[in-house]
Chain A
Amino acid sequence: MRMQRYSILITAALITLSGCSKDFLDINPQGQLVEEQALIDPNAAEQLVGGVYNTLYFGGFGNTTVGFLFQCLNDIASDDTEKGSSPSDFAAGGEIDNFTVTPNNFILNNIWAGHYTAIARVNRAIDILSQSTFEQSVKNRLLGEVRFLRGLYYFNLVRTFGGVPKLIRVPDPSEGNSDEFQTRATQEEIYQVILEDLQFAADNLPLKGATVVGRATKGAAQSYLAKVYMYRKDWPKVLENTTAVINSGSYDLVQDYAAIFRENPVNNEGGNNNIESIFEVQTGVNLGENAVSELYSNGQGPRSRGGWNDLGFGINTPTADLANAYEPNDERRAASIIFINPTVVPRAGGDPANVGTLLWDGFRIPTQDSVENERYNYKAYHSPLRESPQVSNNKDKKPKNIRLMRYADVLLMYAEAQANLGNGGEAQAKLTMVRNRAGLDAAAGTVDNIWRERRVELAMEQDRFFDLVRQGRAGTVLRSKGKPFVDGKHELFPVPQAQRDLSGGRLTQNPGY
């Protein structure tokens, strides 16, 4: 019996023991960095800034900032491009094209969500930066960089949707559902946020050359300030900021227009981050293939109808109207648009040769019968032969830098400001710089000429539709091209229904939708 009693004692002890130590149930996530721990790192603030720049890659068919879907929205809605691809493909793009867009269009929701995810990262970075112990100048530069991006993002939002919820700090979880954040601020309030952010950036960022390539610069902030003031018709401010950029001496035009959009310089000119580039998305090749704006190039690449390994989805294709908008001898036409060659020329021996279209890098696209569309965006082309390849088989991940702000835009903004302020001569001088580069002669510095120049100079660079709206002639121009644009409605896109539902109906809809 003694043994038995021992055994009971042992079992009783076991039961008590397997009640276990107090921290048995305290287990941290494995292989994942918990927020508290991440913030212990003294570099956390700087890393959060890196996370903000990373939002420039938001793209593909998912949430986006300046990527493929935002590009599509702006270009397709305008007279520059059509939805493209095969007729049944990408119906959401078709709605944009035909102004039948509804609040349920996923493109709009992904633009909304992408921008706010990015803005939340900015707000978080500002929050941590403000508590950081960096030297004041470093702190201000980093704050300037993220506020520059927040300004850019709100500028996209306000142009797309009008007034939107204003978030310039990290809301406490309990505030997430408050009216303050769930209702739309006015267009004016958002513009104030943009101007303050960009002005702070302009005041605190270094000039190009005084900071690492790819980071936001004073010039970039001033250029965007100029653009925002141009949308607000504040011409003296446009002049002030563009003049600052021009006088900085940091920028010039690339003489070979086609070279602007190449990865590498052509005859020592152009390429990524060229002399004309003021702000561009810096892509790169890494193992994760996640330092790219997905689909930006492949989404717009020439699409096969069969028989060849094509270059992309063929979405966002230039219209005939755009092709016809170029003056004769305008070098920009051939540099901006890939024209699919429909001819079949006989060879010397007499049998037909499939000549197709030869691209700058030697890639030969077959003739029209094997190609889905007639024209494609050359500016988004990323050469599979002569430029950095993506790591894997996935062509969606082509590392194509997106040129968001170029010196030519600054020159044209300057010209438009001068024209509006009555200095036609000054306007003509800058306009002519842009025209000469394209192989064209001088033109009078009138607002009409500048507008016309903007279209061909900045075609398919996320500018045309908002530019038409700004100019107040979107309805007139687009209706003349057969688009059912309704004044007072189509200047803005509808607020995504999904977001309205989530706000409990507190987000109001734009007129007409």
Chain B
Amino acid sequence: MRKLFTSLAACVLIILLFTGEAFSQNIVVKGRVTDVANGETLIGVSIKVKGAAQGTSTDANGAFTITVAPNATLVFTYIGFEPAEVPVNNQTTLTVTMKTSASALEEVVVVGYGTQRKSDVTGSVAKIKGADIASQPVLAATQAIQGRVAGVQIISSGDPNALPTVRIRGTGTMKGGANPLYVVDGIITEDIRNINNADIVSMDILKDASATAIYGMRAANGVLLITTKKGKQGKMVISYDAHTGVKEAANLVDMAGPAQYAGYLNEANVYYGSGDELITTDQIANGANTDWYDAILKKGFQQNHNLSLSGGTEDLTYFFSAGYLSDAGIIETNNFNRFTLRSNNEYNATKWLKLSSLISFSRLNNRGVDLGAFNVAYRAAPYIASKVNDLYGNTSLSNNVGNPLLSLEKVDNRTLGNRLQGSFALDVKPVSWLSLRSSFGVDLDFLRSTNYGYQFANVGANSVFLTEGGNQLRDKSDLTVISNNATKWVWDNTATFNKIFDKHSVNVLVGVTSEYYRFNGLEGKRVNVPADRDQWYLGAGSTTGATNNNTGDKWARNSYISRLNYAYDNRYLLTATFRADGTSRFPSSNRWGYFPSVGLGWNIAEEDFMKGQKTLTTFKIRGSWGKVGNDQINTNVYFPIAAINLPYFYDGVEYSGIAFDQLPDRNVKWETTEEYDLGLDYGFINNRLTGEIDYYHKKTTDALIDIRIPAILGDADALYTTNAATFTNRGLEFGIHWTDKINDNWSYNIGGNVSYNKNEITGLNGGQALVEGNIGGNQGNVTRSDNGQPIGSFYIYEATGIFQDAEEIAASAQKDARPGDLRYRDLGGPDGTPDGVINEFDRTYVGSYQPKYTFGINGSLTYKSFDLSINTYGTAGGKIYNGKKASRLDQRDNLEAAVVKNRWTPDRPSGTDPRANLAQLPASTYFLEKGDFFRINNLTLGYAVPKEKLSRFFIDRLRVFVAAQNLATITGYSGFTPEIISGNPLNAGIESNIYPTTRTFTFGVNIGL
């Protein structure tokens, strides 16, 4: 198969050699291109001679010169403008005006190994402009597109260094690897935190298989293509964009104060214990009044500066940028900054040969925080002081948790990352209808982290506590140094044929790509390293207890790609793609996967019978089918690996044994997702009202899961990674957008999208449900993924109210209950029928974190020099398990003020909240809440100083703005944030160690020279 494909591609190329071009007697034509709307010159407009390869583009003054046949026709194209055809007719001077493309559908979209006019696309794709991304004060570009695209769920985080969770058309996998594929200027990557948002021209999102199948084995979760800026011919343009701002926690939960806390626990001890005061009056009277979230949170300062220079000549275009972003986060000691450089150059060596180099460097420096502190702050007793005169309150004495402020301040975890990402490409265009491209991309990622834990004592003269004792201490300082080095290269070689015969337009892409990844990680640990930061090196530590480790990873891929785009008269469209993916990640028996797709489109508005009407400008029906894959599991899971260095001491001497404790599936393979998509693109009234509607059905088979196997087989973790599940995602997407210009002063646009997704597991190996989400204590696991349910469903008791009296208890399945206790529904028993006992058989499915609906409304308004824009985002239908509230690991843990306030008492019987209690309650719907929310993501007000006032300062453009990120959230959820990042789809939506969502107010400027 491979061989055949290779030879075919080579043959086609060779045949194509034997073609020629003719030239005739020519004249020199000069001219200028301007925008019809405002008369401004257009820089970098592409000018082609119709029917020939010859072409040029306009310079900084919008001027061009070209030598052509006197009867030639010039074709002017410019992104965002309607193409213009101008016959030369022996003229030597031409003035050409171009008008803005009325239709968003005329946009060019990046489709993977090429671009396509949006009107020709048969798949479901979306495009976000770079300006919309750069305008938001966030690190990762994906966070800025929340709510912009139907079918794309983005879960953001307040953590300055977080990569948001992205789910395109539902949860696409059950075992890791649920993130989409990111492709930055052709380089495939998993992490886009190195990309400066200000450098982005556009982000294109490929949603259905017709669009994604060209990426084959890794496309099942959708593809996000990021294109960075390039220079345009013309004078140098200098831009400076900056903002500074302040971040704070968007939402905090009110915790009980000392008096509430003591009152609750003491009341509980009357019910459950001796009735003694668990917290004495003295403790409260002499104690502090600590709001632990106040203690560990701060307002964080954020700033972002970007400077770019771009321009070019006919031979060379350049774009250079430098960016600096710093974000102190909102948890004490957290601090992040990133510095980026980018140089994107294109060299037009000859008319038919172009070289380009796109190089970016990023350096990040992060002082991270252990999010456990955020959880511990929930538990710490409020009468313990956080810190007084450099001495810490001793929370481990009160309720067996460490002082969270101390935990944060006594560690110093720093990560320093340097990443160089670049691609070097050679474009050859021997004849007008053929482009050859060889592109070599590299991604070098060096990361060093130094994690230092300060020594501190809890007793004696060196105690750091106000009160000695407890169990929070670090006897010896410790240092962990990690040095990771990842290298990846990808080499794409493609040939694109583009030919129009009469009404037939044909575009064929064939290519070969290979990819190689290597990772080398070094890790060393030492104890007793001096606290002086200049000595935080492994060499400075004690040799006793020293550990060193070195690990590696390596994989390779080799793929063959092809795509055919055919259009007849712009009316009937066909896209067919095929990718053959070879990978080292799977055994040789399953090494090659084949991923086809077909998409059909019908531009009904282009039909003759539609010509007469003016209402409907665009009306396209699309349908597609395709297969894509997912191979994102650990490399080499199919190899039986020996456990080595298993020690045993014979006569006091260590001997190293081995064992084979892991049973691998020697036939493991990729997951396959088969997807159907039916879509409609519409545009009314000259495309002022546009939008799209899509229905999709995705079925993932051979999904990888860890099934549990009987212990008798001797597998140490009793888990076996294999292709054993099937699930579906079905959904509807709807988008609408309206643009209007009322008069010269007023214009506005508004758009909205809503999508619905239903995720359902339809086949599990032997029906063995996957249990996850351990809360700790007696709650056990709270999620279960089973047939007929969404992935990661909550599986808990159903709380149906509160027992009010002994009579109700006697009639219930909880004979030991007391008034004020939660009542649970008796749903089953060993034989499936209610058995009068509440136990494991009574757990039931009560929904999952996956939202049924995601939606966003976005709009902007321009009045003279003022602009106002708003982005919103929301989800509905998902559930959240309030893990913090549910944990209650120690009876003296603090509680939410609302829990105390609303508790059942004999005098004030509640129907929903239980009485004061000391122990952890069972996992039930009492802790489950709706995750619905609607948020104003971004509100920006800008003022662009009019041009005429700027000219004498040699400034082209100056805009100042104020913005609020995450201004307000409407949600019924009582926890800290309804957005919960989790890497594991099987236990998503449990709020425990989550970085709180932040709200940011910024002020910024955009300056152009």
Is B632 engaged at the interface, CB distance under 8 Å to the other chain?
no
Interface 1/0s, chain B 350-386, versus A by CB < 8 A?
Answer: 0011000000000000000000000000000000000
- Does the CB pair A18–B650 fall under 8 Å? no
Give 15 pairs: A residue, B residue, CB < 8 Å, sorted on A: A12-B14, A29-B641, A32-B642, A33-B658, A38-B644, A47-B656, A49-B657, A121-B714, A167-B712, A171-B713, A282-B650, A306-B398, A307-B469, A309-B473, A502-B709
In the complex, the answer to whether B639 meets A117 with C-beta atoms within 8 Å is no
Chain B residues near A104 (CB, 8 Å)? Answer: 840
Q: Evaluate contact between B2 and A117: CB separation under 8 angstroms.
A: no
Tell me which residues from 289 to 327 in chain A have a Cβ below 8 Å from any Cβ of chain B. Answer: 290-291, 304, 306-310
A5: B residues at CB distance < 8 A: 17, 430
Given contacts A15-B493, A56-B648, contact A286 B13 (CB under 8 A): no
Contacts of B655 in A (CB 8 A): 50, 53
Task: Identify which of B473, B656, B890 contacts A50 (C-beta below 8 A).
Answer: B656
Cβ–Cβ contact B13 & A15, under 8 A = yes
Nearest-CB residue, chain B, relative to A128? B660
Question: Which one, A165, A215, A502, contacts B708 given CB within 8 A?
Answer: A502
Task: Give A503's nearest chain B residue, CB to CB.
Answer: B710
What residues on B are CB-neighbors of A49 within 8 Å? 657
Cα A243 to Cα B823 with chains together (Å)? 62
Given A47-B658, A167-B712, are A391 and B545 neighbors across the interface (CB < 8 Å)?
A: yes
Chain B residues with Cβ below 8 Å from A16 are 6-7, 9-10, 512
Give every chain A residue within 8 A of B438 (Cβ-Cβ): 11, 14
Contact of A120 with B650 in the complex, beta carbons under 8 Å: no
Q: Known pairs A4-B428, A167-B712; list 8 more (Cβ under 8 Å).
A: A15-B6, A20-B514, A32-B636, A52-B657, A53-B655, A176-B713, A288-B547, A503-B710
Which residues from A are CB-within-8-Å of B711? 109, 112-113, 116-117, 499, 502
A212 lies within 8 A of chain B by Cβ = yes
B13 touching A8 by the CB < 8 A rule?
yes
Q: Mark A485-513, 1 if CB is under 8 A from B, else 0.
A: 00000000000001101111000000000
Asked if B659 and A284 sit within 8 Å, CB to CB, the answer is no
Please tell me if B553 contacts chain A, counting CB pairs below 8 Å: yes
Within 8 A of A (CB), among B476-533: 476, 478, 491, 493, 495, 511-514, 519, 527
Contact B659 A124 (CB under 8 A): yes
A60 CA to B744 CA in the complex, in Å? 75
Q: Which 9 A-B pairs have the closest CB atoms?
A: A120-B714, A50-B657, A30-B552, A51-B659, A284-B649, A51-B657, A4-B430, A307-B469, A113-B711
Query: Closest Cβ of chain A: how far from B239's Cβ, in Å?
Result: 36
**Measured between alpha carbons, how far is A171 from B709 in the docked complex, in Å?**
14
Q: Which of B587-616 contact A (CB under 8 A)?
A: 588, 591
Interfacial chain B residues near A31, Cβ < 8 Å: 550-552
Contact (Cβ within 8 A) A24 B546: no
Closest to A63 in B: B716
Which of A53, A391, A392 meets B648, CB within 8 Å? A53
Residue of B nearest to A31 (CB): B552
Instruction: Kindly list chain A residues whose C-beta atoms are within 8 Å of the C-beta of B714.
Output: 116-117, 119-121, 123-124, 167
Residue B835 lies at the interface, judged by CB distance under 8 Å to chain A? no
CA distance A176 to B766 in the complex (A): 15
Task: State whether A306 touches B710 (Cβ < 8 A).
Answer: no
CB contact under 8 A between A33 and B644, given known A112-B711, A284-B649: yes
Cross-chain contact B649 with A214 (CB below 8 angstroms): yes
* A44 on interface, CB distance cutoff 8 Å: yes
B584 and A173 contacting across the interface, CB-CB below 8 Å: no
Q: How many Å lie between the Cα of A32 and that of B778 in the bound state?
A: 37
Whole-angstrom CA separation of A35 from B655 in the bound complex: 19
How far is A56 from B478 in the complex, measured between Cα atoms in Å? 30
Q: Closest B-chain residue to A273, C-beta based?
A: B651
The answer to whether B919 touches A291 (Cβ under 8 A) is: no
A26 at the interface (CB under 8 A from B): yes
Known: A8-B428, A52-B657. A33 touches B642 (CB 8 A): yes
Interface string of B440-474 (1 = CB under 8 A from A): 00000000000000000011000000001111011
Please give, as numbers and ranges, the residues of chain A lying within 8 Å of B712 by CB-CB distance: 116, 120, 165, 167, 181-182, 499
| Contact status B635-A12, CB under 8 Å | no
Q: Does B718 contact A (CB under 8 A)?
A: yes
Most chain-B CB neighbours within 10 Å: which of A26, A38, A50, A291?
A50
Q: Say yes or no: is B40 at the interface (Cβ < 8 Å to chain A).
A: no
Against A, the Cβ 8 Å flags (1 = close, 0 = not) of B1-41 are 01100110110011011001100000000000000000000
Find chain A residues with CB under 8 A from B582 CB: 25
A49 CA to B353 CA, complexed, in Å: 66
Chain A contact residues, CB within 8 Å of chain B = 1, 4-5, 7-9, 11-12, 14-16, 18-20, 24-35, 38, 44, 47-54, 56-57, 63, 88, 91, 102, 104, 109, 112-113, 116-117, 119-121, 123-124, 165, 167, 171, 173, 176, 181-182, 212-215, 282-284, 286-288, 290-291, 304, 306-310, 391-393, 498-499, 501-504
The answer to whether B950 has its CB under 8 Å from any CB of chain A is no
Q: Is B970 an interface residue (CB 8 A)?
A: no
Considering the chains assembled together, what is the distance between the CA atoms of A280 and B654 in angstroms? 16
Which of B17, B495, B553, B839 neighbours the largest number of chain A CB atoms within 10 Å of its CB?
B17
Q: Is B645 an interface residue when CB atoms closer than 8 A count as contact?
A: yes
Closest residue to A310 on the B side, CB-wise?
B471
Give the docked Cα–Cα distance between A12 and B716 (Å): 51
Q: B556 in the interface, Cβ–Cβ < 8 Å?
A: yes
Whether, in the assembled complex, B898 has its beta carbon less than 8 Å from a beta carbon of chain A, the answer is no
Size range of the interface on B? 35 or more
Min CB distance A303 to B, Å, is 10
Whether B715 lies near A117 (C-beta < 8 A) is yes
Please determine whether A287 and B547 come into contact, CB atoms closer than 8 angstroms: yes
Q: Report the Cα distance A505→B398, complex, angstroms.
A: 47
Contact indicator A12/B641 (Cβ below 8 Å): no
- Neighbouring B residues of A53 by C-beta, 8 Å: 648, 650, 655, 657
The reply to whether A26 and B584 form a contact with Cβ atoms under 8 Å apart is yes
CB of B544 within 8 Å of the partner chain: yes
In the bound complex, do residue B553 and residue A288 qualify as a contact, i.e. CB atoms below 8 Å apart?
Answer: no
Given contacts A11-B438, A287-B547, A393-B474, contact A117 B647 (CB under 8 A): no
B397 x A306 contact (CB < 8 A): yes
Verify if B475 is at the interface (C-beta below 8 Å from A).
yes
* Given the contacts A15-B6, A15-B512, A24 and B556 also touching, CB distance less than 8 Å: yes
The answer to whether A19 and B558 touch across the interface, beta carbons within 8 angstroms, is: yes
Question: By the criterion CB–CB under 8 Å, are B636 and A29 in contact?
Answer: yes
Q: Does B643 contact A (CB under 8 A)?
A: yes
Could you say which of B17, B551, B555, B645 contacts A9, with CB atoms under 8 Å apart? B17
B658 touches A29 (CB 8 A): no
| CB-contacts of B615-657 with A (<8 A) | 635-636, 639-652, 654-657
- Given the known inter-chain contacts A19-B512, A214-B649, A284-B652, please indicate yes or no for A35 contacting B493, CB distance below 8 A: no
Q: How far is the CA of A51 from the CA of B547 in the complex (A)?
A: 21
Q: Is the CB of B511 within 8 A of A48?
A: no
The answer for the CA separation of A212 and B491 in the assembled complex, in Å, is 58
List the A side residues contacting B852 at CB < 8 Å: none
Whose C-beta in chain B lies nearest to the C-beta of A5? Answer: B17
CA distance in complex: A88, B555 (Å): 49
A365 to B475, CA, bound (A): 19
**Chain A residues with CB below 8 A from B495, complex form:** 11, 15
Is the C-beta of B891 less than 8 angstroms from some C-beta in chain A? yes
When distances are taken between beta carbons in the complex, the residues of chain A under 8 Å from B459 are: 308-309
Q: Are B6 and A19 in contact (CB under 8 A)?
A: yes
Which residues of chain B have C-beta atoms less than 8 A from A212's C-beta? 650-651
Answer yes or no: B918 CB below 8 A from chain A CBs.
yes
CB-CB under 8 A from A8, the residues of chain B are 13-14, 16-17, 428, 430, 436
Contacts of A503 in B (CB 8 A): 710
Q: Are B658 and A24 interface neighbours, CB within 8 A?
A: no
B436 touches A7 (CB 8 A): yes
Q: Give every chain B residue within 8 A of A35 (Cβ-Cβ).
A: 639-642, 660
Most buried by A among B353, B555, B649: B649
Given the interface pairs A29-B636, A34-B639, A51-B658, the reply to whether A306 lies near B470 with Cβ below 8 Å is yes
Residue of B nearest to A176 (CB): B713
A117–B476 CA distance with the chains assembled, in angstroms: 35
